[in-house]
Structure 1
Amino acid sequence: MKTEFDKIAEEAGNAELEAWAAKVKAANEEIVAFVGQKLRTNVPGEFVRYLQGSYNVNLVIRFGEEDIVIVRFPKRGITAARFLEEKVKNEVRFLEYLAEKTAIPVPKIRDWGMTKDSPSQLGPYIIMDYIEGSELETILRQLQDDNNEAEVDLVYEQIADYMLQVSRLHFSAIGPINKDTSGAWTVTDRPLTTNMNNLASVVTNYPVDQFPKAAFTSAQAFLHYRADENLVHLQVQRNLAHSAQDAEKCFIARHRFKQLIERFYSPSEADNGPFIPYCHDFRPKNMLARYEEGSLKIVAVLDFEYVNTMPAQFAYDPPWWLAMVSPGLMLEKFAMEDFEELYVPRLEQFLRAMAKAEAKKNASHGREAFSLTSRMRDSWTSKRFWFNYGIRKGWSVDVVYWSALHEPGDEKLSGDLEKEMSLIAEKKMEQLAAYEAECDARGIAQSG
């Protein structure tokens, strides 16, 4: 089954983005001067090029031969307006935290600020060092195509080491990392997630007042919130289901996900922490690499927006990107067996790399009882990998349930839920008819 964004909300966001992008282009000279002022340099600045991301636009600016920086703005219309400044502040603090507490190569932040301080009020910004390198995903695909498994191993070992470092960072609440007045790193604010941003920007009339107001101190409470967020999503997105049968399948999947919480997260299992930073986009697409002294080295890890401390088990999952495809998108088109055929050999290769990274850490710091390798393997074999993936991604929760977690007989619901499902299916078809009529009136093309 396939779910999609609300095309009406998406079109509105694209129109806002287009108008904002024109404003950025018109302000190029002002932006260059602004960055030079923030860097306190007398060397004239030169705009080099744009680097486009999914949620941000980056301007590369050169000052003389040596100093090259990026100024990064979140894209209007893609990032919900209510989250712009919260998103940037959270990312800045996490980059600063990683630079202080780990050896993960992240760009140095030179300056940052809010919309009121930005050129032409373009939005909150981050100025950071530009790092020369090639996108690791492109390199990794070529290595795999060439069957250069030794260098794939080298890439995996570096990423495994980074994941191992992150797995040791423990907090007592779920949310973004910040610094308190004493300079200590802590978590007190609500988690801001990619899913929240998407609900606020590409679902018409999602009740944003129901988003969290504070950090969570219980894994169970957070997961129940996420399950409820998915149920509200089903209620309000008018084109989430394209038939009554689709609506019923979404209803079953989202209720079953809520019921699966205690199977994968028993109340006695680290419910009050530790909580560990988790970045869904921690993947080769957001890493830069280059050859140094004949060896392929990752030189930058980028894009830490929407990072929060999360239930520790998220950090104990094997990487979802190992097959170089999105699991949710693949399951929409193919069978689980097709995904596993691609994923499992790479999983075994990555677990060998993780075991090697752990052996190095143990040799230098003394042996620990904790094994990330064994936890990752257990996550895969227990299907917790799939539960965690689905609970994070509201547009994939349905296909993940039916492809990976459904067992025969699970589709049977209690009498009260059966009645509610019938009403929801009827409501979804009424919503869909109204949505399609509005799309036609606006001349917006739809996909079924």
Structure 2
Amino acid sequence: MLACKPYDDVAWAISTQIWEDWPEFLRTDGDIYNDIGVILSEEFSDLQCAVFEFLFTGGFNTCFKMMFTNNSGAVIRFPLPGHVMFPEEKVRNEVSVMQFLLEKTSDRIPITVPSILRWAETKESPSDLSPFIIMDYIHHKGDMGDLLEKPGRQGGQRPVLNPDLKPVRLEVLYIKLANIVLSLSTLSLSRIGSLDKNDDSTWEVSRRPLSYFMNETVQLGTLPRSNLPTTTYDNASSYFEALAELHILHLRSQRNEANIEADAEADVLADVLADDFRRKFVARFLFRKLVRDQEQRKQWISYDDGPFPVWCDDLRPENVLVDEAENIAGVVDWEFTYTAPVEFAYAPPWWLLLKKPEDWPEGLDDWCTEYEKALQVFLEAMRKCEDEAIQKKQLVEGQRLSSRMRASWQSGDLDYRFYGPTTYEDDNICDVWRKRLHLLEPEEQELVEVYVDLKLKERNTWSLAWDADEYTVGWIKRMKEMKRKQREGEEGDLC
């Protein structure tokens, strides 16, 4: 009867339409296409252009490539309106972390990233498109996702791990990825947030940690931008509390929580929907309770005062480029990278199956079963990477991730660890929140009912309140105007 959704369907539709239309305009509008080519050719005035072409559109960027007669190349990347809610901030943060990694790359930190040739804000952009980054083109044959995924994927389908990969082959590929994850975890700073370089060439954290989740809650969760955190954090517990508050605000503000069958009876529908809201609110309040309890958080926050490792929300096999010999040529797409609590690095990577649990057609239990098989291979790969690094004195025993990832997986979620088993012989798992309700303070229980009541009353009256950035709003207007002129041109041709 009820299927939960992590996004507002109207916001999703608008974002998807922009994703389809915007790159097409950049490719087909002669003036815009020429402006992009000019800015690249001016950057390389001493080289002769051989090819200038559209490269691809990913989840957050549209890219163009220029190759030169000496076989070198460059890529210019523009953040996608409607998908990137903080384009200037996103580009600035990505440039900083790439420069940081370029400085740190060594035998101990073997993470190769493209060299940045130039970046600029929207006001300096060709045709006022958006902020952009110009970087070296990394020659490659494909990416790690190509080597890991099941063959035969059709356009629009999500990749999934190839079940026919032999364990030995899978371990070889996982070792290459584990080296990146391990190396990144050894880079740390003293605060949580986005990196910045000082005038004396030292690095510090001076801006908020702009995360994938923060961007998505504005893009698809209809959360007002003003509700997002704006500060850096000097301890993990304060950051976790900010995340707990953000998740509560997200649930409170999101307009559409579920798809409900049209033939459901009104009173049954209301009861089911209300309990679904209660379950979600109870879970979020309980997480905040764990964060606020000083004694309990000592049991799961390892280093409250840091140091805090560099963490990339969007690190995944598709962003790891490989050459003909399947060696790593470079790692790209460093948006939403910041320093985070070590617990982020201690959690096993979600991407071992390439597909997230919410996208797994056979359900969460089946995903967990398949994930655990892949996890055992990955942990063995990680252990081998650690052994080699320790032998070369590039790592110390206390920096191992494999044992901590194993413990993180085996310990289960925080709710189970601190509040006891979540399944009961006679209970539906979706009703477990009732067994947890007494753990909330009376005022929290009252607040849950207030929020549930408001969401039920507002559900049929809310209109989309998408707090899009000026960049996105501006491009929606420009695309409408372009479409209008295109239609007029087509009508003129008919006449």
TM range (shorter): 0.7 to 0.9
Task: Give the distance between the partners of 1:437 and 1:310, measured in 2 at CA.
Answer: 32
- Residue range with higher mean Cα deviation, 143-152 or 283-292: 143-152
Q: Is the contact between residue 236 and residue 301 of structure 2 (CA under 8 Å) also seen in structure 1? A: no
The match for 2:421 is none
1:220 deviates by: 0.6
The total of aligned residue pairs comes to: 415
Work out which of the residue numbers 253, 256, 266 in structure 1 matches 2:283.
253
Q: Is the contact between residue 191 and residue 308 of structure 2 (CA under 8 Å) also seen in structure 1? A: yes
Q: Is the contact between residue 241 and residue 247 of structure 1 (CA under 8 Å) also seen in structure 2? A: no
Work out which of the residue numbers 323, 333, 338 in structure 2 matches 1:290.
323
Once the two structures are superposed, the pairs formed by residues 292-311 of structure 1 within 5 Å of their partners are: 292=325, 296-311=326-341
Task: Give the distance between the partners of 1:28 and 1:43, measured in 2 at CA.
Answer: 18
Work out which of the residue numbers 368, 380, 383 in structure 1 matches 2:409.
380
Task: Render the CA deviation track for 1:210-243: whole Å, top value 9, x for unaligned.
Answer: 3222211111111100110111112211212562
- Residue range with higher mean Cα deviation, 38-47 or 68-77: 38-47
The match for 1:410 is 436
Task: Render the CA deviation track for 1:71-102: whole Å, top value 9, x for unaligned.
Answer: 1000011111xx11110010011111112113
Q: Is the contact between residue 219 and residue 273 of structure 1 (CA under 8 Å) also seen in structure 2? A: yes
The higher radius of gyration belongs to: 2
- Give 2:320's aligned amino acid: M
Task: Give the distance between the partners of 1:49 and 1:207, measured in 2 at CA.
Answer: 34
1:269 deviates by: 3.7
Matched, 1:211 2:228: yes
TM-align CA RMSD: 2.8
- Give 1:164's aligned amino acid: L
Task: Give the distance between the partners of 1:157 and 1:265, measured in 2 at CA.
Answer: 32
1:268 deviates by: 7.4
Matched, 1:96 2:99: yes
The match for 1:198 is 216
- Give 1:215's aligned amino acid: T
Q: Is the contact between residue 278 and residue 310 of structure 1 (CA under 8 Å) also seen in structure 2? A: yes
Task: Render the CA deviation track for 1:273-321: whole Å, top value 9, x for unaligned.
Answer: 01011112211121122332xxx31222111101110001211222111
Once the two structures are superposed, the pairs formed by residues 50-89 of structure 1 within 5 Å of their partners are: 50-80=55-85, 83-89=86-92
The match for 1:323 is 353
Q: Is the contact between residue 51 and residue 60 of structure 1 (CA under 8 Å) also seen in structure 2? A: no
Task: Give the distance between the partners of 1:38 and 1:109, measured in 2 at CA.
Answer: 12
- Structure 1 spans left out of the alignment, 5+ residues: 388-401, 439-448
SS at structure 2 position matched to 1:66: coil
- Residue range with higher mean Cα deviation, 61-70 or 140-149: 140-149
Task: Give the distance between the partners of 2:77 and 2:464, measured in 1 at CA.
Answer: 39
Q: Is the contact between residue 174 and residue 187 of structure 1 (CA under 8 Å) also seen in structure 2? A: yes
Task: Render the CA deviation track for 1:16-43: whole Å, top value 9, x for unaligned.
Answer: 5566435523211211111111223351
- Give 1:7's aligned amino acid: D
TM-score, normalising length from structure 2? Answer: 0.77
- Give 1:71's aligned amino acid: I
Matched, 1:419 2:446: yes
Work out which of the residue numbers 140, 143, 155 in structure 1 matches 2:148.
140
The match for 2:5 is 3
1:266 deviates by: 4.6
1:265 deviates by: 5.3
Q: Is the contact between residue 67 and residue 74 of structure 2 (CA under 8 Å) also seen in structure 1? A: yes
Change in Cα spacing, 1:291 to 1:154, as seen in structure 2 (3 Å) is: farther
Q: Is the contact between residue 50 and residue 60 of structure 1 (CA under 8 Å) also seen in structure 2? A: yes
Task: Give the distance between the partners of 1:335 and 1:202, measured in 2 at CA.
Answer: 23
Matched, 1:280 2:313: yes
Task: Render the CA deviation track for 1:144-182: whole Å, top value 9, x for unaligned.
Answer: 444333232111111111222112112110111111111
Task: Give the distance between the partners of 1:434 and 1:407, measured in 2 at CA.
Answer: 28
SS at structure 1 position matched to 2:382: helix
The match for 2:461 is 434
Change in Cα spacing, 1:289 to 1:268, as seen in structure 2 (3 Å) is: closer
Change in Cα spacing, 1:28 to 1:358, as seen in structure 2 (3 Å) is: same
The match for 1:399 is none
% of aligned pairs identical?
A: 30
The match for 1:240 is 257
Task: Give the distance between the partners of 1:130 and 1:5, measured in 2 at CA.
Answer: 34
Q: Is the contact between residue 156 and residue 353 of structure 1 (CA under 8 Å) also seen in structure 2? A: yes
The match for 1:179 is 197
Q: Is the contact between residue 24 and residue 122 of structure 1 (CA under 8 Å) also seen in structure 2? A: no
Change in Cα spacing, 1:267 to 1:188, as seen in structure 2 (3 Å) is: farther
Q: Is the contact between residue 314 and residue 336 of structure 2 (CA under 8 Å) also seen in structure 1? A: no
- Give 1:363's aligned amino acid: Q
- Give 1:381's aligned amino acid: Q
Task: Give the distance between the partners of 2:335 and 2:464, measured in 1 at CA.
Answer: 36
1:367 deviates by: 7.1
- Structure 2 spans left out of the alignment, 5+ residues: 151-160, 260-272, 417-427, 466-495
1:419 deviates by: 2.5
Task: Give the distance between the partners of 2:379 and 2:414, measured in 1 at CA.
Answer: 14
Task: Give the distance between the partners of 2:415 and 2:75, measured in 1 at CA.
Answer: 36
Task: Give the distance between the partners of 2:203 and 2:99, measured in 1 at CA.
Answer: 10
- Residue range with higher mean Cα deviation, 134-143 or 66-75: 134-143
Task: Give the distance between the partners of 1:38 and 1:386, measured in 2 at CA.
Answer: 54
SS at structure 1 position matched to 2:239: helix
Task: Give the distance between the partners of 1:211 and 1:147, measured in 2 at CA.
Answer: 42
Task: Give the distance between the partners of 1:155 and 1:6, measured in 2 at CA.
Answer: 37
- Residue range with higher mean Cα deviation, 423-432 or 18-27: 18-27
Change in Cα spacing, 1:36 to 1:437, as seen in structure 2 (3 Å) is: closer
